[in-house]
Structure 1
Amino acid sequence: MVRLPKTLCVLMLIGIAEGGAVFDTDLGDLCYSCTCSADKTIIDCSHRGLTELPDGFGTQVTRLNISHNEIATFPESIKKFSNLLSLDLSGNRLNELPRDALQNLTVLEELNLSRNFFEAWISLNPNEVFRPATNLKTLDLSHNKFSTMGNLANQELIISSSLETLILENCEIDSIHGRSPLSGLINIKTLRLHSNPLMRIQSLISSTLKSLDVSNCALSTINHNELMYLPSLVYLKMSHNYRLELSATAYNLFSDSLKYLDISYCNVLQPNLQGFPNLRRAILNHNMIRFLRSNEFVNNTLLEYIDLSYNNIGSLKSDTFRGLHVIKYLDLSWNEIATIPEDTLLEMPSLTQIKLSRNYLSSVGHLKSNSLTVLDMSSCEISSIGKDSLEGLQSLIDLDLSRNLLTHIPDSISSNTLKYLNLNYNRITFINNYTFFMLPRLAGLSVIGNRFTTIWRRSYFESNPYLERLDLTDNMWRCDCADANMYDFYEFVTLEPSKKEESYNLVCNSPIALIGQTWLEACYFVWNPTEKVPNPDGIIWFITVMIIGLAVCLLLVNCIKRSMQRRLATIQAERERQVEEARDRLRQLRMRAEQEALCNTPDPRDLIAPPSYDEALSMPKLNTSCHSLNETGTGKTKRRRGRRKTKSSGDLLEETERNGDLPVLDDLELSENPNDRRRHRPRREISRYGSHEVAELDQSPGARRRRMSEYNTEYYDAQNGDVMTVEVQAELERPLRPRQRRHSNEELRESDL
């Protein structure tokens, strides 16, 4: 073993790592714009609005999807994906392929070029572009606008030695002419041409073609030799060609290899399948076939499946299906068949299923078949069943007679093999013990939507030990809960282990009080009387629970009541406190008002008007001449309080000047006659003042006198006839002092005025 230096080994590892990094970086650029799988072998760049393939490539990529973008030129970088197996370029703007477009793509198997803008075969370079792809299996050119499959001058339509499937759907191809377009495809197996305005099939030559789809085209006729150049053709689909007719002459279509034929939704008047001896499956539904001739399928001995539904077939003959020895399925539904001969089914010894629904059969005839297992005769207007009508069907398992006009089932209808009987939506009203007596294998019975009223009995099914299912929904059951048979049948149908129907499907339709209720809801307490009658233990427990509940309720009520009382007491105390505070405030306001009233109330003696001039002259004179009455008398003389004395004018003026008060003269009226010395004293009402009349103090004479001191007062001189003005200045800041009352007997002197 050669040992390399460590330095060389390190350099080699670094080089390998750098190479891998470059490779991953290049592929990473592609994966940055697209979606890559974990192993980076599948790349999806669809629906990204690309105009060209992003940079980056890797030889390990096997599937590349760049569909539905804006690519107008075939990407050159695709050549580097040497291991590419699938390439999807659909939904782009390609209109041509370069000759070396698929160079180096030797392992490519699928190429999708659908939904592009190819309009001519020459733009594909069909003789050169597909040759490098030696493993190409599938080519999809659908939804382009080739308009024809005429081969080019001195060129083949397409040359590929490996191509097996060619898809040309919706390519507006209306004709196939010239040399065979398949001559360059030596290994072609499937050709799909459906949804093209193709009117004829001609010049199709291929020894390998197995499947041909020309459905939904505009085919009207097919020549009898159109299929002779396709010796390997197995599958032929020509459905939805609404004008297509098969020739009824001796020159019919023929193909020894054809096994599957679909000519549904066409204008076929006769099957005419004699030319297909190896046919296995024939679909002829939705056509215009009116009748079937004798020995119609005598040459189709290998036919296994025939669908003749949705035609206008009116009758059958006993030898119509002669020769169909291996047929298993026959569909004759949605036709106009009125009768079926008894021996018709005997010509098909392997027939297992036949559909006769939607025909005009009025009764179940005496059919005979040793292999038939499924018979569908629904919606056929059948009104009667023969007692022995099923005896000829030795292997019958499933019989469908739903949606007919049956009113009763004959007694002892017999079949040793019948398991499933469908009688839904008929008019059956009753059954008895012998109705299903001869059906020992019966496992399922369905009578939904009939007219049963009387509850069935368990004894009706004593001879059916294998019965597993009973469908009794949507019937007019009359519920009589007192009937023991109803409870017995309910248990037989709904209880385990042999449960045959769900209880909620059994609904009462009468009497009126029980309409819409299930059997169990209507009769529960009748069927379970012990649950309705109370037992002593239950009563004791009930009473105990009631007592406990009542005690709990009383306790809760008491607690709530106490809580409410405490709350009301708190509210009442708060209210009394607020009332007491309001009373205290009112009492304080009242006392304050009384104090203010006492302070502002004038002396009642001040309210007495001074004497008039005549009264002053008539007053007695004082023995002692003094300046004022306060100076009269000696210390022994006591003045009587509360006694009002008259004052002279001089004394009044002196006192007025001394005290700053002026008598009120507004109400005095002096006589204009100088000889008349009498003065009329105005009436004065002495107001009484109280705490509730504090507001009236502002109108008292003392208040008025104080206001009058602020302005000059005019007096009228009675002797001289002049008006005297006396200026009085109020001493606002001088404190009040007790007034000294004086008693004077002097006459009023003129100097005092």
Structure 2
Amino acid sequence: MFRLPTTLCVLLLTSMADGEALELDRDLTDLCFICSCSADQTTIDCSRRGLTEIPDGFSSQVQKLNISNNDISVFPANLNKFHNIVSLDLSGNQLTAIPENALHNLSALEELFLSRNYFDSWISLNPNDVFLPATSLKVLDLSYNKFRTMGNLANLELIISHSLETLILEHCEIDSLHGRSPLSGLTNIKVLKLSFNPLVRIHSLISSTLKTLDVSNCALSRINHNELMYLPSLVYLKMSHNYRLELSASAYNLFSDSLRYLDISYCNVLQPNLQGFPNLRRAILNHNMIRFLRSNEFENNTMLEYLDLSYNNIGSLKSDTFRGLTLLKYLDLSWNEIATVPQDTLLEMPTLTQVKLSRNYITNVGHLKSNSVTILDLSLCEISSIGVDALEGLKSLVDLDLSRNLLSHVPDGVSSNTLKFLNLNYNRITFINNYTFFMLPRLTGLSAIGNRFTAIWKRSYFDSNPYLERLDLSDNMWRCDCLDVNMYDFFEYVTLEPSKKEESYNLICNSPMSMYGQTWLSACYFIWNPTAKTPNPDSLIWFITIMIVGLLTCLLLVNCIRRSTQRRLAAIQAERERQVEEARDRLRQLRMRAEQEALCNTPDPRDLIAPPSYDEALTMPKLNASCHSLNETGSGKTRRKRGRRKTKSSGDLLEETERNGDVPVGGVELTEISDDGRRANRPRRQISRYGSHEVAELEQSPGARRRRMSEYNAEFNEPNGDVVTVEVQAEMERPLRPRLRRYSNDDGQPRESDF
């Protein structure tokens, strides 16, 4: 054998670890496409995916795994690799059994949810062995299965777990507890929930650590007096909604020194029978059949702080019924049949702060006494009268509710130095006066909604209540008299800032009929504000006149604006037409100038034809007679004298000009210079007009100019040797010749054809 170097071994191990990590990351990535993973991949949710088994790709770092509501029928065998898992949810599947080594290596598991499966017997769970490897298991949920019973397994413990604290067995169709204690194997059990089972009797429950027992919504009918003796740590007992349950009234009452919270509401309890719970702090006995309370009923419950006896049939109270409840703070006696309350009843509870006596048959509020009550509810009690000294004995009363009773008046001089909130809603009170609230100096809020007040209150009624902040007066039968100064004064007192006590829209007039349904403000606005008074007939006529004048003024103004607009539009149209006409004139001038320039720049056709050669000239026919124009060739007519012609053609004008030695002035000025330097005196000729043509325009072609110059040179070169020099001065720009417009005889307007 050969030995590899240490460095090479380390590299090989590192590469193998990296390969496994990459493979694991790839598997986790594939898994997260199927399930929902957290960012750190410690929480994976695969619920409601239709899975039949746990998919591959999970790593050991997973702490919370939820695979509930799937189609898994066999308990997963590969869970033992999740040694860091804390919470495992397999509820809502099709499991029927759990293997013995199912939780092997799951030492960190704290919560296991197996509810809503198909477990039908305890043996299929292997309860004696399966939970032992999970040394940190605290919560086990087996609800919504069908165990049907909870007993021993051939003299073996039902469930063995030294760490389990909460066992949930709700909706498991358990109807009996028998044999050895099913809790003896749970040495650390604290919470047991057996609610919603057809359980008839609690039997053989033995546990020194159990603190909470929930057997509500079962079928319990009675509990033996010693059933709770084997639960020395029991603190919370809930037995509500057991409709046949009765507490034993014999000498052997239900007993528990450790019980603090007891809920036996919605049962068939005829007597409280709480003497066996000396440390009870909270007792809920509502919705039962308790008909009367005996003297010293709760003398052994000296630690009681909260007592709810509402919704029973209690008909009367005795002055010593609650004797011994020195720590009681809350007492609820509402919805009973109590007719009278003895005046010393509340004195037996020195720490009582809140009392609810609503929905009873107390017709008269007598002289109650209490040094600690701050909230007293006497609503819905059919109270028709209140004693003048009814509140004097309540030294600490702050809130008094007398709503929905039959009170027709509040006696004068009802006194309380501590009362702040008084509720008189929905009674039959018709009036108050200056002395009604005179003895309530601390009154802060007064509510009198839904009574039968008709006369408007006065500000002086509350002169002795400087702290009054809220006053509710809606839904009353106010008779509005807008001319009454008191009504306006009280309205300002109630609705104006800064001491606003009521909204103005809550004050509604009920009479007279002309004001029915209107608010005080809308009904009396014009009377309280004379400047905004409704106009009389004379002012109405003036108003109509002013409206007519204003309407006519508006019509005139509109007409003027319309005419001004029309004139403006007409001026704009005329200006537009003028601009169009000017544009047309400019176009005509440009077109005429272009035609003139085109005519001036047109070359002479004779210049375009090359002169004939000598041979061609010999072969050309000879003319029989001389003529000045080719147009006269062969005509056979003699030319008339020039003096008799009134018009001349351009060719004749050229011949005459050449013969007389004159130079046309059409942009070129010709001057003769003799040899001795003297200027020849030759008269200047202006261009004559011949018909509608200008000869100068016809003679401006380059060929005509060259021919004239050659003729002038030949003529001026005389035999005596005198040389004539011709100076030609060209005009840079020849102005257009003004043209006369011709007008027709009918309208004298220029036409397009005239141009």
TM-score by length of 1: 0.71
Following TM superposition, by how much is the alpha carbon of 1:141 offset from its aligned partner in structure 2, in angstroms? 0.3
1:533-572 CA deviation, whole Å, 9 max, x = no partner? 899xxx9x99998687444543577699999xxxxxxxxx
What is the alpha-carbon distance in structure 1 between the residues aligned to residue 485 and residue 40 of structure 2?
75
Following TM superposition, by how much is the alpha carbon of 1:392 offset from its aligned partner in structure 2, in angstroms? 0.3
Following TM superposition, by how much is the alpha carbon of 1:297 offset from its aligned partner in structure 2, in angstroms? 0.4
1:607-666 CA deviation, whole Å, 9 max, x = no partner? xxxxxxxxxxxxxxxxxxxxxxxxxxxxxxxxxxxxxxxxxxxxxxxxxxxxxxxxxxxx
Q: How does 1:466-485 map to 2 (within 5 A)?
A: 466-485=467-486
| Contact 1:408–1:429 (8 Å) recurs in 2 | yes
Cα 1:561–1:457, aligned 2, differ >3 Å: closer, same or farther?
farther
Q: How does 1:589-608 map to 2 (within 5 A)?
A: none
What is the alpha-carbon distance in structure 1 between the residues aligned to residue 561 and residue 193 of structure 2?
88
Secondary structure of 2:33's counterpart equals helix
Deviates more, 1:541-550 or 1:246-255: 541-550
What is the alpha-carbon distance in structure 2 between the residues aligned to residue 328 and residue 508 of structure 1?
44
Cα 1:415–1:13, aligned 2, differ >3 Å: closer, same or farther?
same
Following TM superposition, by how much is the alpha carbon of 1:22 offset from its aligned partner in structure 2, in angstroms? 2.1
Question: Is structure 2 residue 257 aligned with structure 1 residue 256?
Answer: yes
What is the alpha-carbon distance in structure 2 between the residues aligned to residue 560 and residue 364 of structure 1?
87
Cα 1:555–1:10, aligned 2, differ >3 Å: closer, same or farther?
farther
What is the alpha-carbon distance in structure 1 between the residues aligned to residue 264 and residue 56 of structure 2?
50
| Contact 1:401–1:422 (8 Å) recurs in 2 | yes
Cα 1:542–1:192, aligned 2, differ >3 Å: closer, same or farther?
same
Cα 1:79–1:457, aligned 2, differ >3 Å: closer, same or farther?
same
Q: How does 1:596-635 map to 2 (within 5 A)?
A: none
Cα 1:108–1:551, aligned 2, differ >3 Å: closer, same or farther?
farther
Cα 1:184–1:512, aligned 2, differ >3 Å: closer, same or farther?
same
Deviates more, 1:32-41 or 1:88-97: 32-41
Deviates more, 1:40-49 or 1:360-369: 40-49
Question: Is structure 2 residue 559 aligned with structure 1 residue 554?
Answer: yes
What is the alpha-carbon distance in structure 2 between the residues aligned to residue 221 and residue 339 of structure 1?
33
Q: How does 1:178-189 map to 2 (within 5 A)?
A: 178-189=179-190
Question: Is structure 2 residue 452 aligned with structure 1 residue 451?
Answer: yes
Secondary structure of 2:355's counterpart equals strand
Residue 486 of structure 1 corresponds to 487
What is the alpha-carbon distance in structure 2 between the residues aligned to residue 493 and residue 542 of structure 1?
41
Cα RMSD between the aligned structures? 2.8
| Contact 2:495–2:503 (8 Å) recurs in 1 | yes
Structure 1 letter corresponding to 2:470: R
What is the alpha-carbon distance in structure 1 between the residues aligned to residue 533 and residue 176 of structure 2?
87
Secondary structure of 2:397's counterpart equals coil
| Contact 2:308–2:333 (8 Å) recurs in 1 | yes
Secondary structure of 2:522's counterpart equals helix
What is the alpha-carbon distance in structure 2 between the residues aligned to residue 305 and residue 10 of structure 1?
72
Residue 398 of structure 2 corresponds to 397
Cα 1:524–1:8, aligned 2, differ >3 Å: closer, same or farther?
farther
Residue 281 of structure 2 corresponds to 280
Residue 427 of structure 1 corresponds to 428
Secondary structure of 2:237's counterpart equals strand
| Contact 2:35–2:44 (8 Å) recurs in 1 | yes
Residue 501 of structure 1 corresponds to 502
What is the alpha-carbon distance in structure 1 between the residues aligned to residue 285 and residue 296 of structure 2?
17
Question: Is structure 2 residue 343 aligned with structure 1 residue 355?
Answer: no
Following TM superposition, by how much is the alpha carbon of 1:52 offset from its aligned partner in structure 2, in angstroms? 1.2
Residue 47 of structure 1 corresponds to 48
What is the alpha-carbon distance in structure 2 between the residues aligned to residue 341 and residue 25 of structure 1?
80
Cα 1:558–1:453, aligned 2, differ >3 Å: closer, same or farther?
farther
Q: How does 1:26-37 map to 2 (within 5 A)?
A: 26-37=27-38
| Contact 2:63–2:86 (8 Å) recurs in 1 | yes
Following TM superposition, by how much is the alpha carbon of 1:19 offset from its aligned partner in structure 2, in angstroms? 4.3
Secondary structure of 2:78's counterpart equals helix
Secondary structure of 1:302's counterpart equals coil
Residue 388 of structure 2 corresponds to 387
Residue 616 of structure 1 corresponds to none
1:190-244 CA deviation, whole Å, 9 max, x = no partner? 0000110111001000000000011111111111100000000001111111111
Residue 466 of structure 2 corresponds to 465
Residue 138 of structure 2 corresponds to 137
The count of residues paired between Structure 1 and Structure 2 equals 558
Following TM superposition, by how much is the alpha carbon of 1:459 offset from its aligned partner in structure 2, in angstroms? 1.1
What is the alpha-carbon distance in structure 2 between the residues aligned to residue 167 and residue 111 of structure 1?
11
What is the alpha-carbon distance in structure 2 between the residues aligned to residue 549 and residue 17 of structure 1?
94
What is the alpha-carbon distance in structure 2 between the residues aligned to residue 81 and residue 525 of structure 1?
85
Secondary structure of 1:76's counterpart equals coil
Following TM superposition, by how much is the alpha carbon of 1:294 offset from its aligned partner in structure 2, in angstroms? 0.6
What is the alpha-carbon distance in structure 1 between the residues aligned to residue 527 and residue 248 of structure 2?
75
Q: How does 1:656-675 map to 2 (within 5 A)?
A: none
Secondary structure of 2:124's counterpart equals helix
| Contact 1:29–1:54 (8 Å) recurs in 2 | no
| Bigger relative contact order (CA 8 A; separation at least 6) | 1
Q: How does 1:278-427 map to 2 (within 5 A)?
A: 278-427=279-428
Cα 1:412–1:49, aligned 2, differ >3 Å: closer, same or farther?
same
Identity between Structure 1 and Structure 2 (%): 74
Following TM superposition, by how much is the alpha carbon of 1:457 offset from its aligned partner in structure 2, in angstroms? 1.1
Deviates more, 1:453-462 or 1:77-86: 77-86
Following TM superposition, by how much is the alpha carbon of 1:12 offset from its aligned partner in structure 2, in angstroms? 8.9
Following TM superposition, by how much is the alpha carbon of 1:488 offset from its aligned partner in structure 2, in angstroms? 1.5
What is the alpha-carbon distance in structure 2 between the residues aligned to residue 32 and residue 151 of structure 1?
46
Residue 625 of structure 1 corresponds to none
Secondary structure of 2:471's counterpart equals strand
Residue 679 of structure 2 corresponds to none
Following TM superposition, by how much is the alpha carbon of 1:56 offset from its aligned partner in structure 2, in angstroms? 1.0
What is the alpha-carbon distance in structure 2 between the residues aligned to residue 509 and residue 143 of structure 1?
62
Secondary structure of 1:452's counterpart equals coil
Following TM superposition, by how much is the alpha carbon of 1:29 offset from its aligned partner in structure 2, in angstroms? 2.0
Cα 1:197–1:9, aligned 2, differ >3 Å: closer, same or farther?
closer
Residue 242 of structure 2 corresponds to 241
Structure 2 letter corresponding to 1:75: P
Deviates more, 1:48-57 or 1:395-404: 48-57
What is the alpha-carbon distance in structure 2 between the residues aligned to residue 78 and residue 548 of structure 1?
97
Deviates more, 1:390-399 or 1:38-47: 38-47
Q: How does 1:509-520 map to 2 (within 5 A)?
A: 509-520=510-521
| Contact 2:526–2:534 (8 Å) recurs in 1 | no
| Structure 2 unmatched ranges of 5 or more | 569-755
What is the alpha-carbon distance in structure 2 between the residues aligned to residue 41 and residue 48 of structure 1?
19
What is the alpha-carbon distance in structure 2 between the residues aligned to residue 90 and residue 544 of structure 1?
88
Residue 721 of structure 1 corresponds to none
Deviates more, 1:21-30 or 1:130-139: 21-30
Secondary structure of 1:146's counterpart equals coil
Structure 2 letter corresponding to 1:351: L
Cα 1:522–1:154, aligned 2, differ >3 Å: closer, same or farther?
same
| Contact 2:302–2:326 (8 Å) recurs in 1 | yes
| Contact 1:57–1:80 (8 Å) recurs in 2 | no
Question: Is structure 2 residue 194 aligned with structure 1 residue 204?
Answer: no
What is the alpha-carbon distance in structure 2 between the residues aligned to residue 282 and residue 424 of structure 1?
32
1:428-484 CA deviation, whole Å, 9 max, x = no partner? 011111110100111111111101111111111111111111111111112222222
What is the alpha-carbon distance in structure 1 between the residues aligned to residue 45 and residue 553 of structure 2?
76
What is the alpha-carbon distance in structure 2 between the residues aligned to residue 181 and residue 422 of structure 1?
56
Residue 171 of structure 2 corresponds to 170
Residue 579 of structure 2 corresponds to none
Structure 2 letter corresponding to 1:123: S
Residue 568 of structure 1 corresponds to none
Deviates more, 1:53-62 or 1:322-331: 53-62
Following TM superposition, by how much is the alpha carbon of 1:10 offset from its aligned partner in structure 2, in angstroms? 9.8
Following TM superposition, by how much is the alpha carbon of 1:76 offset from its aligned partner in structure 2, in angstroms? 2.0
